[in-house]
Amino acid sequence: MSEAAVSANPQATGRPTPDASAAVKRISNRVLVDGKLRAALSDESFEVINPADLTVIGHAPRCREADVNAAVDAAADAFKSWSKVPARERGRMVQLAADRVEAERGLVEHILALDTGNALRTQARPETASTIDLTRMFGGLAGELKGQTVPAASPGVLQYTTCDPIGVVGGIIPWNAPLFLFVAKVAPALVAGNCVVIKTAEQAPLCVLLLAEIMSRELPPGVLNVISGFGEECGKPLVEHELVRKVTFTGSLPVGQAIASYAAPKLCPVTLELGGKNPSIILADADLDLAIPGVIDGMRYTRQGQACTAGSRVFVHEDIYDRIVDGVVERLAKIKLGDPLDEATDMGAIISEEQFQRTLRYMEIARSTAGARILYGGERPTDPYLSKGYFYPPTLLDGLPIDSDVCRDEIFGPIATVLPFTDFDDMIAMANDTPYGLAANLWTRDLSRALEYVERIEAGFVQVNQCVAPRSNVSYGGLKMSGLGKEYALDSMVTHFTSSKTVLIKRGTPGPLG
């Protein structure tokens, strides 16, 4: 792999070219600890690859316990004063941090596209905008950090609860929407008075470090720390560190389970967001003008299907089966794969060799299943540019048995499977027959059926006649094995990032001064 000059495509963006090379050079092989962008204590590093063309865009430190300790110490030290800053003042600083990001959003979205392979127009730019929005929202909620007064059993007794910072929060994030997931953890944690250490995903560390460094210009040193490294070597010691009193994680189910086990001996609370195998369900009476584009949006094809909410099991009533399949295929054919920085590109590259091979593996299963059909996609592009990187077309399958691994596992690639049904009860049973319970989408004009689905579907994020991505101010989290806890809204800040005392005070007879 060659060291590539990092440059934007100015014709593509129509904006001034952000000086990405200089920014990457500045943040490459650095951590953010105690307010400083500096070399890690570890002298090992790993390459950061642009998955669209496999060039090396920079490096990131391979941190281990020593760097974890340094970052946690900085956070613990900063906590002494940050926790005493009035909540609304903390909120104001977090909002100023969002303003800083907004001022540099062209650069941030550009590095995000390079790091992840996500298309600038359809993914990296909207993700950057949502990141700024979510940060501002939490900043504005600082005044909601309040306890309750509790009615007392007798006069002269005051009972109330407090809403206090916890201490150092350890966060571990994935690569699929790295900036949004970063602030979903960092912004509520900071506003609530905690200090944070985040371990970035090894596949997309640079965009997060850049974002954190920009935000930290408005924050006292040590309040926000970012390190990079691998799971067992860096994530595990972070979770296990005795000064880390709260852990928040987004990623795979097995790693979420491991993290909960590392945190268990110290009884450290854990928030987990762990993916899904989500149903998109189309009833016979659905408005097809909503349902057909909805299936495509719901599958998050333009993020290469790399989304925990991806509606990858498409249940379609037999009466409208062919119309749905034809309509979806017609639209999939219009999705343009290409250079993530090109404004004309709808869909970029899969994040890594590992995830790319995973997609190919599930396609092998599909190909070797009798009766399975590839309705669209299913072949690596042959175009010279696209065949270099981890590009794979949007792919739609059918004819697979419901117990196939393709229909059961979270593939996290651009593969969806269509499953016909006739009976509503059978379909609900199939939709719920998964260990996951994250998201579900239904299209119908029948209000009674919609309400019945809402009652019976086992999912934490339930939509009817649409399937938008999770967003600010909409509480989001999974049931069953999809996780623990909620994110993105007020309840996530108050429930997950504060501790509480219950206080009971009795009035006696007045003393000599009274």
Per-residue x/- mask for ligand NAI, residues 269 to 298, rule CB under 6 A?
Answer: ----xxx-----------------------
The answer for residues whose C-beta is within 8 angstroms of residue 241's C-beta and 6 or more apart is 68, 69, 72, 168, 170
Taking the C-alpha atoms of residue 391 and residue 130, their distance in angstroms, rounded to an integer, is 25
Stretch binding ligand NAI (CB under 6 A), from 25-33, 120-128, 249-257, 290-298? 249-257
List 169's β-bridge partners, or say none.
Answer: 196, 246
Residues that contact ligand NAI, how many (by CB under 6 A): 25
Backbone φ, ψ for residue 442 (5° rounding): -135, 140
Instruction: Tell me the closest approach of the beta carbon of residue 307 to ligand NAI, in angstroms.
Output: 7
How many CA atoms are closer than 13 Å to the CA of 350, on its beta-carbon side? 24
In the list 308, 335, 375, 430, the residue contacting ligand NAI (rule: CB under 6 A) is: 308
Are 399 and 378 contacting, i.e. CB atoms less than 8 angstroms apart? no
Question: What is the smallest separation between the CB atom of 176 and ligand NAI, expressed in angstroms?
Answer: 5
**The one-letter amino acid at 123:** Q
- CA distance linking residue 485 with residue 476, whole number of Å: 8
CA distance 413 to 398: 16
- The answer to whether residue 174 forms part of the interface with ligand NAI (CB under 6 A) is yes
Query: Which of 160, 230, 288, 449 contacts ligand NAI by CB under 6 A?
Result: 230
Which residues are registered as beta bridge partners of 164? 499
* Smaller CB separation from ligand NAI, 139 or 229: 229
Determine the longest span between alpha carbons in the chain, in angstroms. Answer: 91
Name which position in 216, 250, 280, 345 contacts ligand NAI (CB under 6 A): 250
Which one of the spans 61-69, 194-202, 400-408, 465-473 is the region binding ligand NAI (CB under 6 A)? 194-202
353 scored as a contact of ligand NAI (CB under 6 A): no
Pick the closer one to ligand NAI by CB: 264 or 503: 264
The CA distance from 387 to 384, in Å, is: 5
3-state secondary structure of 21: helix
Q: Show which residues are catalytic.
A: 273, 308
What is the dihedral angle through the alpha carbons of 227, 230, 234, 238, rounded to the nearest 10 degrees?
Answer: 80
Nearer to ligand NAI, 51 or 91 (CB): 51
Query: Is residue 176 at the binding interface for ligand NAI, with CB under 6 A as the rule?
Result: yes
Residue from 232, 319, 326, 330 that binds ligand NAI (CB under 6 A)?
Answer: 232
Q: Residues 432 to 451: which contact ligand NAI by CB under 6 A?
A: none
The footprint of ligand NAI (CB under 6 A) covers 172-174, 176, 199, 201-202, 230-232, 235-236, 250-252, 255, 258-259, 273-275, 308, 358, 410, 412
